Structure 1
Amino acid sequence: MPEPKRTVPLAGSERMLVPGARVLRAAHENEWLEVTVRLRRRRPLPSVDDLGMRPIHQRQHLRHEQFQTTYGAHPEDVSQVEAFAAAHGLRVQGKELARRSVVLGGTVSSFNRAFSTRLMHYEHPDGAFRGRVGPLSLPAELEGVVTGVFGLDTHRLIRHHPRPRPLRTSHALVTRELPQVFSIPDLATLYNFPEGDGAGQCVGLLEFGGGYFPEDVEQSARDLGLPMPEVVAVSVDGVRNTPSRSKDPRSSQGASTGEVELDMEVVGALVPLARQAVYFSDFTEKGWVDSLAAAIHDTENKPSVLSISWGFSEMDSIWTPACMEEVNELLQEAATLGITVCVASGDDGSEAQEQDGYAHVVFPASSPYALAVGGTTLLANGGAITEEKVWNTGSQLQPGGGAGGGGISAYFARPSWQGNAQVPASVNPGHRLGRGVPDVAANADPYTGYLVVSKGERGAVGGTSAAAPLWASLIARLNQQLGRPVGYLNPLLYASLGRVGCNDITVGTNDPTFGRIGGYAAGPGWDACTGWGSPNGQRLLATLRGTSEQGF
C-alpha cells in the first residue's frame, strides 16, 4: 500500500473564528465551490522603489505581454496544480499565467480532503457565511508553489459605505442646511487641477456588490453639462452590475449602489472623456484577489489608474496573512505596469471601525504600493479655499460621526521612502514603527460634501470614498498632460513632490473618540491624518514635468 503523501501547512492560511460567529452546521458535502489558487511568480520582481524614484520621463514600465512571460506563473507550476486537482477530484475551470491563478471547481467534500480542512456554515450579525478555522494543508511538493487559496470562505468583509448628510433634500435646501457643499467640478477648481478631460485614459473602479443605474450617471453628467461617460462593466467571478434602489441601511446592495454611483460620478465629472472600467466582484477575500488581478492585468481596457473606495482594518480575524500578501503583491505588480492605485483610508479615523480600545489603519490603503487617500473638511469662498482641516466629526457610533482614516500600520514595515517624513511611532502599546497612512487627502466631510445623483435623488455625500476617485481623476489628467502614466507615485511624493504639490493641512486630529483610544494630530509637513495634504494639481504637474515656476 503506497505511503500517504506528506503535507505541509499553507503559509498565511490560518483562519480564526470571526468574532460574533456561531456554528450552524457542516457545509453539505455535495455543495459546489469554485476556488482561486494563486501561484508564485516565475522570478522576483525588480525593486519598484527604484522605479518610483526616477523622474517620470525616465521610467520604463513593463508591458502586459512582458509581465506575463517574465513574471507570470510558470507553466510547470500550473501543471503541478492541475495534477493535484485531478488527484483530488477537482476540475480546472480556468487558468491565467499573467494573473498567476488557477480556478478549481469541486464539491465541499473534495475540497475538504484536498486541503485537510472542514468547511462549516456560520451565522453572524452581519450575515451568514461559509468558513473554516485553522490553516490549510498542501502536498509538500507544492510548498512555495502555491501562495494562496481563496474561495473556501465566504465571510463578507463589512465596511461603512459613503456617508450621506443626515437628511436628503433638494439642492436648495442642502445649501442652507449644511456649511457648504460642492459640485464636483468646483472641487477641481479649488484644488487647481490642470486642464484635461481624460481623453485617451482609462480609470478602473473596483466595486464589491451593488451597481449603477445608467440614468443616474447620465443625469449627474447632464446636470453639469457634460457627456455621459463611456462605461465598461466587467464581471469578475460572475458578479454583475446589480443596482438596488433600497434605502434600508441594512441592504448591502442598496448601500453598495451608492458607493458605485459616487465613484463613477466623481470620475465622470472630472475626466468626462475617460473610459471607466468598473470591475464588479464579491466583498470577500476571493473577490479582492480576483478583481484586483483582473483590473491590473486587463489587456483590453488597460487602466492607467485604479480607484478603490473599499477596505477593512488590519485585523487578523478578518484578513488572512495570505490574502494581505496577495493583494500587496498585486499592488506591487500594478506599479511595474505603470498603474497608480488610489485607495480610501477609511471614514472612522484612528478607530477604523473597531471598538477594541486600540488605534487601527485600513487595508489595502496601508499597503506601501497604494496611494492612500485621507479626508478633510473644506470651506471655500469666491473660488478659493478659506479653511481646510482634518475631517473629524466624532465616532461612527454618533449621528453624523466620521473621520478620515490614518495612523501606523501594524502589518507593513515603514518603507524607505518614508524615512525622512517624521512618521511617528504607533500610539498603541509597543509603539511600532510601521508604514504611515495616508499619503494625501481631499475633501471628505459629508457636511462639506459632493453633490451627486443616486437612486434617482440628488444629495450631498462625503467620505474618503469620494476623495479616492477625486485623486484618481487628477492622476488621469496628469497622465493625459504628460503623455505617459505617472505610475507608482509614493517615492517621489515623499522625496519632494508632496511638499510642493499639496496644500499642507495643519489643524485637527483623527481620534474620533477624542482621547479614549488615541490618534494622530495634523502638523506641518506629512502627518498621519492627511498625509502631505490636499492636491494643488498645477503644481503637481509642473513638478512632475521637472519645471519650476515663480512662487514654488
Structure 2
Amino acid sequence: MKSETVTKTAVQTSARKSAAGFAIPRASALSLALSLAFASLSGVAHAAADDSWVATKTKAFLPQVQAKQKSSAVDASVQTPAEAAVQMAQGEPVHVTLSLNLRNEAKLDQFLKDLHTPGSTAHRKYLTPAQFKAEYAPTEKDVATVVAHLRKAGFVNIKVAPNRQLVSASGTAATVQAGFHTALKRFQQDGRPVFANTDAAQVPAALGHIVGAVLGLQNVELAHTNFVMQAPQQGRAAVLAKARTNATPVQTSHSPAEFPGIYNAGSTPTASNTTVAVISEGDLTQTISDLNTFTDSNNFATINTNVVQTGADGSDYSDTSGMVEWNLDSQTIAGTTGGAVQQLIFYASPDMQFSSITASYNQVVSDNLAKVINVSLGACEAAANSDGTQAADDNIFKQAVAQGQTFSVSTGDAGAYNCQVSSISGAPGVPKNKSTYDVSEPASSPYVIAVGGTALYTNAGAYSSEIVWNEGLRAIGQYDAAGDVDNTKRIWATGGGYSKYEAAPSYQSGVTASGATTRGLPDIAFDAASASGANLVINGSTTNQNGNLYTVGGTSLAAPIFTGVWARLQSANANGLGFPAASFYKYFPLAANASLLHDVTSGTNGYSSSYGFKAAKGWDAVTGFGSLNIGNLNAFVTNTADFAR
C-alpha cells in the first residue's frame, strides 16, 4: 500500500445492484426480467389512467448535475457528460428504497424534548423499538398500501424493514417510470458509469402522506470517507526528541491507545459494559484481523466483534477500498475505550450509495444493540437533500434519540467546501468559489453529535493545546485502485458551518451565532491532523514497505475518539445516558464548567485566514465547544442528575 499517496475521495467503485426477498420467491435472471417487463407495462397503463400524483422529497437529480457540470466547464459550448446522458434500457435492473414518513411526528418531536426535561412525564423514558413502532412508525395498513403500489408498478423482491421506516424493492427503469413518474438516464461521471433521475419522484396522491422519499434513483453522488494519510516526513522519534530537548509542544502521531491519557481519562472506567457500532462497507475481514493485532500489541483483550450485512439478499461485499477507514474507526475506538467494549458491531453496507448507507443506519436503530454508533462518512448536504436522503436519515436518527442511542458523525475533511469538487476525481474541497460555504450530511442532522477536527499539540506525550485542523491545499493524487491521478488541489481541513436545510434545534438557541436560523456544526472536536494522527495496524503491520508508520488523520479520527469517550461515559453511568446534545449546549457555555473542555480559539476552515469559519472563545462553527476533558466530564456527569438523562 502506498501510504504517501493514497487518499479516500468521493470516488467509489460503481454501486453493485442486489435484491432482497419479501413474500415473493427468488427467480432466475431470465424469468425475473420477463416478469418485470410484463408487470411494468401494466404499471405504465395504470399510471397513465391516474393523473393524481404528488411529488416526494426526491427531486430531479439529473438537471442539477447538468447545471453543475456546465457551470464548471472550461468551454461552455462543449457538451458535458450529463448533457449527453442517454435513456437507460427499459429492462435494466434498478433497486429502490422508499423512506416512509413518521406518524404523529409533532408528538414525537415534543417527546424528544421531554426526554431530557426533568419533571416531564417522559423524562428518561427511552423507548424500545417495539414502542417506537407502535406509536410513531407508519402503520401496517400504510405499508401494505405502499407494497401494493410497488407490485402494481412491477417491482418484485419487496422487503419491509423491521421498524417499517424503509421499504426496498427490485425493478427496472420501466418500473421506476411506472411507479414514480421519472425516467433514468446514464452518463459518465469522474470516470465511472452513473445514472440519475430526470424528474422529481412522484407517487399517487393516496400515498402522498406515506412516502417521504424514493432512494436509489441516482448513484452520481456517493457517501465518502473522511480520512487523510500522513505524507512522509520527519519520523516520530525525531520529533519527540526535539520536543524533549526544547520542551516545545509539537504535533506528532500517536497510538490510539495514547488518546485516553492525552485527553485525561484518568479513572474513568473502560467501555466494557457498552456495545458500540461502526457504520462500514464491504469486506471487514482484514479490518478485524488488524484490530486483533492492535489489541494484542497493546496488551488488550481480544474485542468481541460481529459483522451485520445490511444490503439486500445476494449483495456483493467484496470491496476492500475502505479498509483503512474501518481500521481507523475500530482501532481508535478500541484505544480510546481503554481496550474494552462489550461488543463492537460493524454494520456493513455492500456499497457507498446513499440508499445503502441509510439502510445501515436503519438496521442499527432497529436492532437497538449499540448505545454509540460511529459514522466516519459524509456527503455534500445539497446532494443528500435533493436525493431525499437527508429527510430519510433524520427520521432514523429521531428513532435513535428516542431509544437513547447516540450517533457520532465526522464533519468532513473538505473545510467549508464539501460540495465543491474536482471535475476529474470528484473529490470534495476544491474551492472554486472561496466564499461559498456548505456542510456535510449526515453531520448536519440535529439528531447526531457532529465531531470536527483539531490539530493536537503535546509535550512529552501530555496534552498542550489544539488549533483548528487545516492543512491547506495539496494535489489530490491517486484517487482510485487503478492508479489514476488527479493533480487538482483540494483543501484538507475540518468541516464546519451552518446547514442550508436543517432548522436550528432548540438546544442551540442563544449559543450559536446571533441570528442563526439553521443547525450549526460541529458540536465538539478532537484530533484530526495527519501530523498528529493515529498510528494504525494496516495489513498486519504498523509500517509500510519503506518503514514509514501508517499514520492517519481526518475527522474520521475525531469521530471515533468521541465514540470511544462517550462509550466510556455510558459504562460509567450504567448505560443510562441518552443523546447528549441538549446537555452540551446547556452546560458547556457556563464559565464554571471551563475545566470540562479544551476550548479551541485559533484557526479557520477556509481557503485562507480570510475565508471559512473562524475559531473563537466558546462555541464556534469550526470546532464547536472544542475537545473534552474525559475525567472531568465523567465526574461532572456523575454529579449532574439531568446531564444526558
Q: TM-score, normalised by structure 2?
A: 0.76
Distance 1:402 1:164 in 2: 11
Task: Give the equivalent residue in structure 2 for 1:540.
Answer: 633
Taking a change above 3 Å as real, the CA distance of residues 111 and 262 of structure 1, as seen in their structure-2 partners, is same
Tell me how large the CA RMSD over aligned residues is: 2.8
CA distance in structure 2 between the partners assigned to 1:225 and 1:444 by the alignment: 25
| Alpha-carbon distance, 1:123 to partner | 0.7
- What is the rounded CA distance, in whole Å, between the counterparts of 2:316 and 2:234 in structure 1? 31
Distance in 2 (alpha carbons) for counterparts of 1:199 and 1:55: 32
Correspondence 1:197 to 2:258: no
Q: Are 1:489 and 2:554 matched, yes or no? A: no
Please report how far the alpha carbon of residue 38 of structure 1 lies from its aligned counterpart in structure 2 after TM superposition: 2.0
Q: Which residue of 2 aligns with 1:133?
A: 198
Match of 2:624 in 1: 531
2:9 aligned partner: none
Aligned pairs for 1:74-473 (under 5 A) are 74-125=139-190, 127-157=192-222, 159=224, 161-167=226-232, 172=237, 179-193=251-265, 194-209=267-282, 211-213=284-286, 214-238=288-312, 239=315, 242=318, 244=320, 253=321, 256-271=322-337, 272-274=339-341, 275-281=343-349, 282-299=351-368, 302-316=369-383, 319-320=385-386, 322-352=388-418, 353-357=429-433, 358-395=436-473, 397=475, 402-423=492-513, 433-458=517-542, 459-473=550-564
Q: Shift of residue 370 of structure 1?
A: 1.1
- 1:189 shift after superposition: 1.1
- Do the aligned residues in 2 keep the contact of 1:82 with 1:92 (CA within 8 Å)? no
TM-aligned CA deviation for residue 112 of structure 1 = 1.6
Contact 1:497 1:543 in 2 (8 A): no
SS in 2 for 1:199: strand
Q: TM-score, normalised by structure 1?
A: 0.88
Q: Which has the larger radius of gyration?
A: 2
**CA distance in 2 between partners of 1:133 and 1:31 (Å):** 16
**Cα displacement (A) at 1:53:** 4.7
- Tell me the SS of whatever aligns to 1:102: strand
Aligned counterpart for 1:29 among listed residues 75, 79, 90:
90
Q: Which amino acid in structure 2 is aligned with residue 68 of structure 1?
A: K
C-alpha deviation, 1:384, in angstroms? 2.7
SS across alignment from 1:453:
coil
| Mean Cα deviation higher: 128-137 or 364-373 | 128-137
Deviation at 1:110, TM superposition (A): 1.8
- Aligned in 2, Cα 1:181/1:141: closer, same or farther, shift over 3 Å? same
Q: CA deviation at 1:222?
A: 1.9
What is the CA distance between 1:99 and its match in structure 2? 3.9
> Which shifted more, 329-338 or 218-227?
218-227
> Any conservation in 1 of the 2:61–2:196 contact (CA below 8 Å)?
no
Over 3 Å counting, the alpha-carbon distance change for 1:134 and 1:354 in structure 2 is: farther
CA distance in 1, matches of 2:296, 2:234: 19
Change (3 A) 1:497 1:97: same
Matched AA of 1:467: A
* Aligned residue type for 1:294: Q
Q: CA deviation at 1:329?
A: 1.8
Q: Which runs of 5+ in 2 are unaligned?
A: 1-44, 70-80, 243-249, 419-428, 477-488, 543-549
Q: Name the amino acid aligned to 1:334.
A: A
Deviation, 1:315, is 2.2
Shift of 1:83: 1.9
Q: Does the residue aligned with 1:470 lie in a helix, a strand or coil?
A: helix
For 2:224, what is the secondary structure of its paired residue? Answer: coil
- Cα separation, 1, equivalents of 2:556 and 2:302: 21
**After superposition, what is the alpha-carbon deviation per residue over 1:243-291, rounded to whole angstroms, capped at 9, x for unaligned?**
63xxxxxxxx2xx111111101111223333211111222222113211
Aligned length: 527
SS of the equivalent of 1:446 reads coil
1:392–1:507: structure 2 CA closer, same or farther, 3 Å change rule?
same
Counterpart CA distance in 1 for 2:637 and 2:329 is 26
- C-alpha distance in structure 1 between counterparts of 2:49 and 2:262, whole Å: 67
Alpha carbons of 1:8 and 1:191: their partners in 2 closer, same or farther (altered >3 Å)?
A: same
Name structure 1 gaps, 5 residues minimum: 245-252, 426-431
The equivalent residue for 1:429 is none
Contact (CA 8 Å) 1:211, 1:261: kept in 2 or not? no
